[in-house]
């Protein structure tokens, strides 16, 4: 049985058949594994939120250790007392608020008639109420995102940053302890009005001893990623300011 594999018609039919078979195979795989992948992404979000508010497994000075995936759901339920969704002036409680995709929300908000849904996670740690906000922006190569934990006066209690493809050794360092820990103590409010925290070059304060300057020391060689972090904080945290102002009245 010899097939003439050189004929054009055969080549085209072969290509089409191949695409159909491979396509359906991959589609089947993707939809079969989707629930598991989704669960992993959910755990990761919970881990990140808890990390920002200081619930983590850090031991050494440079550790970035999350709560284990087996425990994270219980811990999340324990520390996060309330999740709310802010839509304009309206606030609704929603225990699934952490699943809101803020990338999609940001896209929808380009249409000016749309009121953006802003998730806010309220937790309690050591008797202190902590508010965690998600942020998302652009780095040098791709998306950067994170969670910022503040108290009711918008003073930072902890942050967590992550990125998709920043340069290893330079921009990718935004997820290192020495960078993230720098934010602690800085405030988003300056005399009662909003002023974002900037990633500043030549800040001369790598240990962040001056917590009133609203600046943290930039990473050498990662100017654009650093600017991306500044822009992301300014853009996303600003949206929460009115909520915090109403809290402090």
Partner 1 sequence: MGLLSKKDSKLILDPLADNNPITIQVLGICSALAITAQLKPSIVMAISVVFVLGVGNVVISLMRNIIPSKIRIIVQLIVVATLVIIVDQVLKAFAYELSKELSVFIGLIITNCIIMGRFEAFALGNGPWKSFLDGVGNAAGYGVILIIVGFFRELLGSGTLFGFKVLGDSVEKTGLYAIGYENNGFMVLPPMALIVVGIIIWVQRSRNKELIEEH
Contacts with 30 (C-beta within 8 Å, 6 or more apart), sequence order: none
CB of 172 to partner 1, least distance (A): 11
Nearer to partner 1, 5 or 204 (CB): 5
Q: Where are the alpha helices (DSSP H) in 53-88?
A: 72-79
User: Rounded to the nearest 5 degrees, what angle is found at the Cα of 234, between the Cα atoms of 229 and 237?
Assistant: 105
Contact letters for partner 1, residues 149-188 (x by CB under 8 A): ----------------x-----------------------
Query: Which candidate, 149, 150, 162, 158, places its Cα nearest to that of 208?
Result: 158
Nearer to partner 1, 172 or 197 (CB): 172
Q: Decide if residue 90 touches partner 1 (CB under 8 A).
A: no
Q: Decide if residue 206 touches partner 1 (CB under 8 A).
A: no
- Total residues contacting partner 1 (rule CB under 8 A)? 25
Is-contact 67 47, C-beta < 8 A?
yes
Contact letters for partner 1, residues 42-71 (x by CB under 8 A): -xx---------------xx-------x--
The secondary structure element, H or E, covering residue 228 is helix 223-238
Whole-angstrom distance, CA of residue 120 vs CA of residue 84: 5
List contacts with partner 1 (CB under 8 A): 3, 5-6, 10-11, 14-15, 18-19, 22, 25-26, 29-30, 33, 36-37, 40-41, 43-44, 60-61, 69, 165
């Amino acid at each position: 049985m010899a097939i003439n594999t050189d004929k054009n018609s055969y080549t085209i039919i072969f290509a089409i058949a191949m695409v159909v078979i491979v396509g359906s195979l991959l589609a089947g795989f993707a939809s079969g594994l989707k629930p598991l992948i989704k669960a992993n992404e959910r755990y990761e979000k919970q881990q990140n939120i808890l990390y920002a508010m200081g619930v983590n497994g850090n031991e050494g000075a440079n550790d970035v250790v999350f709560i284990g995936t087996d425990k994270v759901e219980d811990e999340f339920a324990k520390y996060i007392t309330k999740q709310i969704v802010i839509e304009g002036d309206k606030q609704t409680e929603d225990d699934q608020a952490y699943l809101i995709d803020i990338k999609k929300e940001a896209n929808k908000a380009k249409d000016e008639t749309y009121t953006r849904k802003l998730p806010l996670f309220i937790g309690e740690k050591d008797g202190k109420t902590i508010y965690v906000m998600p942020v998302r922006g652009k780095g040098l190569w791709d998306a950067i995102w994170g969670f910022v934990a503040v108290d009711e006066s918008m003073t930072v209690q902890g942050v967590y940053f992550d990125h998709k493809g920043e340069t290893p050794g330079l921009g990718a360092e935004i997820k290192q302890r020495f960078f993230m820990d720098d934010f602690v103590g800085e405030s988003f409010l300056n005399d009662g009005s909003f002023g974002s925290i900037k990633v500043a070059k030549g800040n001369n304060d790598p240990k962040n001893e001056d917590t009133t300057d609203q600046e943290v020391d930039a990473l050498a060689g990662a100017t654009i990623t650093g600017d991306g972090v500044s822009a992301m904080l300014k853009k996303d945290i600003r949206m929460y300011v009115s909520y915090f102002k109403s809290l402090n009245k």
